[in-house]
């Protein structure tokens, strides 16, 4: 399908973003709502296959009922004469698998946060009766905000499904198979828990627990082999985190978490530095499995000629067994009276974090007596055991009484195990440290995303997910976005000398700089010509820095010549001549 193709007169194909076994995923633009969506289009070769069509519909029906921040939303399901496709939320980001491959391995705190988000999404699905059955990092998308979204419920079925195999096609990815999936057995929520354990193992170690040349070889390892301990590959992870992974990846379903919510509670303990223990039947890397010979096997190994000897052997074994039983009984009663009641010292299990029912289940095969007392708590889920007396691992008599303190709200009677709900606090414009303290107080798993900003103070909360006032519980994963100083790019100062003012401004903007003060000065240069700049050319500055300019007012004007005043020369003063001679000389009287 080429880019630009219009599907259903509504969705314009933009690009291909993924290819799976039974469908191709395209990024498309909805012409009506003017938004991008993801179209999952069934491959043409499978349209006539009723089995694939059925599974395709199941995916849409299963995932379409889910609405959760950690699950990709389904908008529509379309079947026409040409195509079968699902319209889904388009999520910008990378798959968790791509992220692991790029990083090598993920720091354990970040991995715990991601696992907690997956738990939250799966818990929502499990409560609606949907098991994903194909949890792997390829089916988890990390958005740019750090939110994880589970996608591709392509093999998810309602919990009443009894097998992971349809026809001759084994579903899912074998590297993340649970042992029951590998055997083709019954699957339920614990299948997703095992697969999530494998994903968490891969996140913190950067490696898959089992590798092999064929799918069968890998599947057999899930059934028979114990994985290398995560701490061997990642020595920096806490022992509590390793215990969470080992419990989630237990071969025996009975030893795994009963729900993803239980696993989430332990992940929160790991994140906050509290202890998580796990008792398994595994020593080192070897599974302790009793070898039991069946009558059928014995028959195959014995010939008919040995039948009489076998009867004698059986009688001897029976006689020896009876004698052994008598001896054990005698020793038991002897110890009972000598030691005082016969109660042996046994290490006490850790009940912290369990519900009352889970605690009772843990001691159902013992003689321990449990008593419960409610205790108010704002940080521990209602119905969860806060502490115990005596403490875990302490040795007690097998008929000892153990006092357990159950978290209760202020009304004090809720022991259902449901998490207490409360309103999401308003963290906007708060200091990062203050916001984190508020979230830790409520024991909320959260992540912090730094965003460059020029409009707020450093480490100030810009926004939050969920928004203030949203109803949440202690299992909700919160993301806060805090501002950090935006790193400006560097720009080289251009040579502006001799340019006109307008040309200089253009060159400054083109270089990513601004102009500052414009100073006019007398000059013989034409008006507006740049005479000098405050920072010399070639210097590198942060972008948007201002440069002051001195420009010419124009050529200096020549003054008009000034007329000089006329100067008159005074006539010399004539003095009377003095005549010396006889009187009346020169004339007659």
Question: CB of 451 within 8 A of CB of 479?
Answer: no
Kindly calculate the radius of gyration of the chain based on its CA atoms and give it in whole angstroms: 43
Looking only at the bridges linking them, the beta strands covering 546-552 and 514-521 are parallel
H-run or E-run covering 223? helix 215-224
Residue in the block written with tokens 């039983």:
325
Walk across the sheet containing 461-465 and list its strands: 446-453, 478-485, 461-465
H-run or E-run covering 122? helix 108-127
CB atoms inside a 10 Å sphere around CB 220: 16
In Å, how far are 131, 150, 233 from 97, measured between CA atoms? 21, 12, 18
- Which tokens in the block code for residue 197? 């354990």
Looking only at the bridges linking them, the beta strands covering 395-397 and 345-347 are antiparallel
Question: CB of 359 within 8 A of CB of 368?
Answer: no
Walk across the sheet containing 35-42 and list its strands: 6-7, 11-19, 23-30, 35-42, 84-89, 74-79
- Which tokens in the block code for residue 260? 């993803």
| CA gap 148, 232 in Å, rounded | 28
Backbone dihedral region for residue 169 (phi beyond 0: left; psi -120 to 50: alpha; all else: beta)? beta
Catalytic annotation on 49? no
CB atoms inside a 10 Å sphere around CB 24: 17
Question: CB of 455 within 8 A of CB of 423?
Answer: no
Which residue in 84, 113, 123, 134 is the catalytic one? 134
Alpha helix positions (H), 184-259: 189-205, 215-224, 230-233, 239-248
Question: CB of 471 within 8 A of CB of 423?
Answer: yes
H-run or E-run covering 441? helix 432-441
Question: CB of 98 within 8 A of CB of 250?
Answer: no
Cis peptide leading into residue 390 (ω within 30°): yes
Ordered DSSP codes for 386-424 = EEEESPTT-EEETT-EEEEEEEE-TT----S-PPPEEEP
DSSP letter at 267 equals: H
CB atoms inside a 10 Å sphere around CB 266: 23
CA 409 to chain centre: 30
**CA dihedral sign, ordered 48, 52, 57, 60:** negative
In 197-343 the beta strands, taken as DSSP E runs, fall at 282-283, 286-287
Residue in the block written with tokens 């096997």:
297
CB atoms inside a 10 Å sphere around CB 258: 17
Cβ neighbours for 430, distance < 8 A, ≥ 6 positions apart: 438, 460, 461
Q: Which residues are catalytic?
A: 134
């Amino acid at each position: 399908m080429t880019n630009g193709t219009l599907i259903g007169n509504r969705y314009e194909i933009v690009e291909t973003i993924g290819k799976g076994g039974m469908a191709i995923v395209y990024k498309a633009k909805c012409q009506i709502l003017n938004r991008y969506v993801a179209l999952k289009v069934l491959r043409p070769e499978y349209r006539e296959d009723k089995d694939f069509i059925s599974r395709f519909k199941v995916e849409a029906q299963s995932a379409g009922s889910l609405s959760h921040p950690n699950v990709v939303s389904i908008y529509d399901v379309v079947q026409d004469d040409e195509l079968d496709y699902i319209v889904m939320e388009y999520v910008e980001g990378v798959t968790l698998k791509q992220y692991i491959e790029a990083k090598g391995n993920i720091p354990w705190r970040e991995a715990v946060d991601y696992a907690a988000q997956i738990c939250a999404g799966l818990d929502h699905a499990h409560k609606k009766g949907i098991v994903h059955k194909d949890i792997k990092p390829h089916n988890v998308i990390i958005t740019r905000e750090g939110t994880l979204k589970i996608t591709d419920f392509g093999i998810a079925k309602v919990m009443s499904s009894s097998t992971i195999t349809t026809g001759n096609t084994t579903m899912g990815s074998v590297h993340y198979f649970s042992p029951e999936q590998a055997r083709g057995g019954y699957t339920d929520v614990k299948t997703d828990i095992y697969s999530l354990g494998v994903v968490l193992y891969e996140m913190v170690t950067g490696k898959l627990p089992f590798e092999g040349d064929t799918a069968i070889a890998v599947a057999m390892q899930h059934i028979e082999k114990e994985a290398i301990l995560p701490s061997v590959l990642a020595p920096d992870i806490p022992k509590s985190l390793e215990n969470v992974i080992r419990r989630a990846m237990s071969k025996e379903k009975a030893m795994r978490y009963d729900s993803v919510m239980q696993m989430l509670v332990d992940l929160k303990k790991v994140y906050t530095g509290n202890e998580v223990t796990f008792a398994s039947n595994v020593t080192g890397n070897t599974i302790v499995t009793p070898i039991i010979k069946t009558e059928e096997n014995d028959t195959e190994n014995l010939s008919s000629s040995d039948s009489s000897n076998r009867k004698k052997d059986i009688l001897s074994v029976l006689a020896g067994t009876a004698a052994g039983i008598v001896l054990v009984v005698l020793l038991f009663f002897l110890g009972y009276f000598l030691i005082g009641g016969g109660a042996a010292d046994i290490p006490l299990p850790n009940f912290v974090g369990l519900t009352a029912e889970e605690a009772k289940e843990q001691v159902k095969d013992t003689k321990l007596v449990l008593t419960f007392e409610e205790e108010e708590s704002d940080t521990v889920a209602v119905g969860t055991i806060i502490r115990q007396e005596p403490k875990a691992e302490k040795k007690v008599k097998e008929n000892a009484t153990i006092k357990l303190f159950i978290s209760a709200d202020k009304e004090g009677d809720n022991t259902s195990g449901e998490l207490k709900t409360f309103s999401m606090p308003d963290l906007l414009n708060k200091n990062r440290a203050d916001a984190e303290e508020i979230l830790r107080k409520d024991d909320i798993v959260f992540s912090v995303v730094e965003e460059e900003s020029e409009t707020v103070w450093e480490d100030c909360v810009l926004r939050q997910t969920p928004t203030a006032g949203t109803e949440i519980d202690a299992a909700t994963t919160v993301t806060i976005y805090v501002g950090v100083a935006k790193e400006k790019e560097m720009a080289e100062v251009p040579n502006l000398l001799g340019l006109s003012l307008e040309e200089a401004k253009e060159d400054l903007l083109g270089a990513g700089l601004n102009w500052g003060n414009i100073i006019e000065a007398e000059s013989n240069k034409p008006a507006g010509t740049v005479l000098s700049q405050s920072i010399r050319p070639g210097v590198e500055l942060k972008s948007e820095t201002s440069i002051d300019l001195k420009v010419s007012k124009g050529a200096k004007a020549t003054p008009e010549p000034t007329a000089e005043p006329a100067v008159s020369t005074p006539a010399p003063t004539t003095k009377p001549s003095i005549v010396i001679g006889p009187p009346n000389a020169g004339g007659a009287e």
